[in-house]
């Protein structure tokens, strides 16, 4: 950090509990989305003087601003002109900026704050500082990051903890803001915290009971400014871990992160592998998930945790890895094997992650819209043999060469979506020149039948309908149509969930022949 701390700034070192003296602290909150709203709401409750800044002056943001004004005294500044400079509070600079994870470190307001010596926290740092509250239990944190598999793993951790009879919740990047969990009136025994690289970038000091980086691959390099910076932020997950740093034994980069981490004395390194585990690892033996880390006789034996088949109908290798990582985390928390098995059985897979949509005429239709980068798409492609691959979208600055080279032999054809998938198309032409490459139409697609035939589909739905029609024309018995875009969705869809729903709906209408109603559309 450059610059010097403003002379009239408050000392923040004592702000380590809910009951500390937050009253009157001048705080600028950047972003009024889920995390930003929860930050502002929390700070208002603590008695801070808050101003919220968001570059979008949308009706949705105005409604959120109105809600915050009902909660307490807060100024909300909406519009691009406010996102370029440090706001003033009572005529002075803020003591603190708390930023939403979507704001990059190079965003003008955040750069100006750092240059001025104003501390910048994320919502996770604030949550850690207010987690201790008189009269409520203080939850232990189990923290999860990785390029892919975070949501699946954190959901499995939650399910296992609940099966053990513990009061637990999944929070953070999974959708429930961490501050909402912290403020729960009853409190929790454990919080399973999903952390993105964005959130980790803005953390200062957190000390989880156990932590894991599931994997690391090229993603979000545009936000971080490079792969090395992205990896360094991911590695922050292990700092100050108390009981167990869990790493991917099949990816040496995560083990190096553990080796280089500054942890609490006595913390153990625990590996997970989809092969036979060594000592101090969890892994697989004879299609069983086993623990060879948290038992006294680990030198010559292992304890069974669950059968792979208990994970569901489609169990790709990376799902096994995620379940093992989750098991290692909860074993560090003292959860017994029986609860892990029950938690796996109770687990409900999240939508849009290798989701079986239809099986018609020997063809599988799989929705993996959450595969927003090459690493995630690679995990999907490796689970199938003859694939019609629907892919493309916002690339986020990544390279597709390794993905295409590795999986070219699986590809029967590729159907491109996205407003500009030229990087992916270029890789395919170089490394899979014999694979047919079809671009989904964006304007002249056949309309999906509405109940009243009143309106054409929005552009994103039209593109997906075209992609599904082309895929249906190309696919035959034994093929898999896999929608795993290896790119972000926001060029043609509002989110990966919107993209996934568009695929599901197109398959339902085009492949299964079910007309949808105007209300459904």
Q: For residues 190 and 11, give the distance between their C-alpha atoms in angstroms, rounded to a whole number.
A: 30
Decide if 174 contacts 156 (C-beta within 8 A): no
Q: Is 148 annotated as a binding residue?
A: yes
Annotated binding residue 152: yes
Residue found by looking up tokens 């053990």 in the block: 164
Query: 147 labelled as ligand-binding?
Result: yes
Residue with tokens 């900026």: 97
Which three-class secondary structure string do you get for 311-343? HCCCCCHHHHHHHHHHHHHHHHCCCCHHHHHHH
Please, are residues 243 and 212 in contact by the beta-carbon 8 Å criterion? no
Helix (H) or strand (E) holding 200: helix 197-201
307: which 2 tokens? 């059968």
Query: Terminal CA-to-CA distance of the chain, rounded, Å?
Result: 50
Contact assessment for residue 427 and residue 403, using Cβ atoms and an 8 Å cutoff: yes
Give residue 260's Cα distance to chain centre. 24
Other beta carbons within 10 Å of 259: 12
Task: Please state at what angle helix 317-332 crosses helix 150-163, rounded to 10 degrees.
Answer: 50
Could you identify the residue written with the tokens 């004592």? 14
CA atoms within 13 A on the CB side of 118: 24
Q: How many CA atoms lie within 13 A of 398 on its CB side?
A: 28
DSSP 149-168: -HHHHHHHHHHHHHHTT--E
Encode burial over 154-186: b for 16+ CB neighbours within 10 A, e otherwise.
bbbbbbbbbbbebebbbbbbbebbbbbbbbeee
Q: Would the annotation count 151 as a binding residue?
A: yes
The tokens for 185 are 């009136």
Q: How far is it, in rounded angstroms, from Cα 137 to Cα 204? A: 23
Q: Residues annotated in the binding site for ATP, as ranges? A: 146-152
Q: Residues annotated in the binding site, as ranges? A: 146-152
């Amino acid at each position: 950090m450059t610059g010097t701390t403003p002379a009239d700034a408050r000392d923040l070192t004592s702000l380590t509990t809910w009951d500390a003296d937050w009253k009157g602290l001048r705080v600028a909150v950047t972003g009024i989305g889920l995390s930003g709203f929860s930050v502002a709401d929390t700070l208002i409750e603590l008695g801070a003087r808050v101003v919220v800044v968001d570059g979008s002056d949308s009706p949705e943001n105005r409604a959120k601003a109105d809600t915050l004004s009902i909660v307490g005294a807060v100024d909300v500044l909406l519009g691009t002109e406010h996102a370029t400079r440090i706001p003033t509070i009572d005529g002075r600079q803020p003591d603190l900026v708390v930023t939403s994870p979507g704001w990059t470190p190079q965003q003008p307001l955040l750069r100006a704050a750092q240059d001025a010596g104003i501390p910048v926290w994320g919502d996770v740092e604030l949550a850690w500082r207010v987690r201790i509250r008189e009269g409520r239990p203080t939850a232990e944190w189990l923290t999860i990051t990785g390029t892919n598999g975070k949501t699946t793993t954190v959901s499995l951790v939650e399910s296992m903890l609940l099966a053990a009879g513990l009061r637990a919740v999944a929070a953070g990047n999974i959708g429930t803001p961490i501050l909402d969990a912290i403020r729960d009136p009853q409190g929790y025994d454990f919080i399973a915290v999903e952390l993105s690289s964005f959130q980790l970038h803005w953390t200062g000091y957190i000390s989880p009971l156990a932590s894991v980086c599931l994997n690391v691959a090229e993603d979000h390099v545009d936000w971080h400014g490079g792969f090395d910076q992205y990896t360094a932020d991911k590695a922050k997950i292990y700092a100050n871990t108390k009981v167990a740093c869990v790493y991917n034994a099949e990816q040496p980069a995560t083990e190096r992160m553990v080796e280089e981490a500054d942890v609490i004395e006595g913390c153990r390194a625990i590996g997970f592998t989809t092969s036979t585990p060594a000592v101090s690892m969890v892994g697989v033996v004879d299609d069983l998930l086993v623990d060879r880390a948290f038992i006294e006789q680990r030198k010559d034996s292992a304890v069974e945790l669950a059968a792979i088949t208990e994970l569901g109908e489609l169990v790709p290798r990376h799902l096994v890895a995620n379940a093992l990582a989750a098991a290692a985390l909860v074993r560090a928390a003292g959860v017994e094997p029986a609860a892990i098995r029950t938690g796996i059985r109770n687990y409900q897979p999240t939508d849009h992650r290798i989701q079986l949509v239809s099986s018609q005429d020997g063809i599988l239709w799989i929705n993996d819209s959450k595969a927003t980068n090459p690493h995630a798409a690679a995990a999907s492609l490796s689970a199938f043999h003859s694939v019609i691959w629907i892919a493309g979208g916002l690339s986020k600055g990544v390279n597709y060469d390794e993905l295409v080279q590795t999986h070219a032999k699986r590809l029967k054809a590729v159907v491109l979506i996205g407003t500009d998938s030229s990087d992916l198309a270029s890789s395919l032409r170089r490394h899979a020149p014999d694979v047919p490459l079809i671009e989904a139409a964006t304007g002249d697609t056949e309309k999906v039948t509405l109940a009243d035939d009143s309106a054409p589909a929005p552009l994103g739905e039209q593109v997906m309908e075209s992609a599904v029609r082309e895929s249906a024309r190309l696919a035959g018995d034994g093929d898999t149509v896999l929608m795993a875009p290896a790119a972000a969705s926001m060029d043609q869809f509002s989110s990966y969930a919107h993209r996934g729903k568009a695929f599901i709906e197109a398959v339902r209408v085009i492949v299964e022949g079910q007309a949808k109603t105007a209300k459904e559309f």
